[in-house]
Homo-oligomer: A and B are copies of this chain.
């Protein structure tokens, strides 16, 4: 079974990173906390009001930082996934 995100949505596999030095640690504050994930698949692009498709920048394999409460969460088998809009992604993580 494959999930093909629609328009400007991306399918993300969240990464539960060990809190080792150099990794991203999310402080326990009132501030919105970001989270890491990997792009499994991306939609064909955002559709403008006028019907034009603007391709996404994010692509399969990109590792991203995103706002923790962004998107819609679900499981396939025992794996957690998220679908969010590309605009919910904050940065690309280059290792």
Contact = CB atoms under 8 A, between A and B. Distances in A.
Interface in A12-67: 21-27, 29, 31-34, 46-52, 54, 57-58, 64-65, 67
State the number of copies, please.
Answer: 7
A74 B26 contact: yes
A80 to B, nearest CB: 7
A78 to B, nearest CB: 8
Contacts of A32: 72-73
Contacts of A69: 31
Contacts of A65: 3, 74, 83
Interface of A: 1-7, 9, 11, 21-27, 29, 31-34, 46-52, 54, 57-58, 64-65, 67, 69, 72-78, 80, 83, 86-87, 89-95
Closest 9 CB pairs of A and B: A51-B54, A25-B75, A2-B94, A31-B73, A3-B91, A4-B92, A83-B90, A5-B91, A34-B72
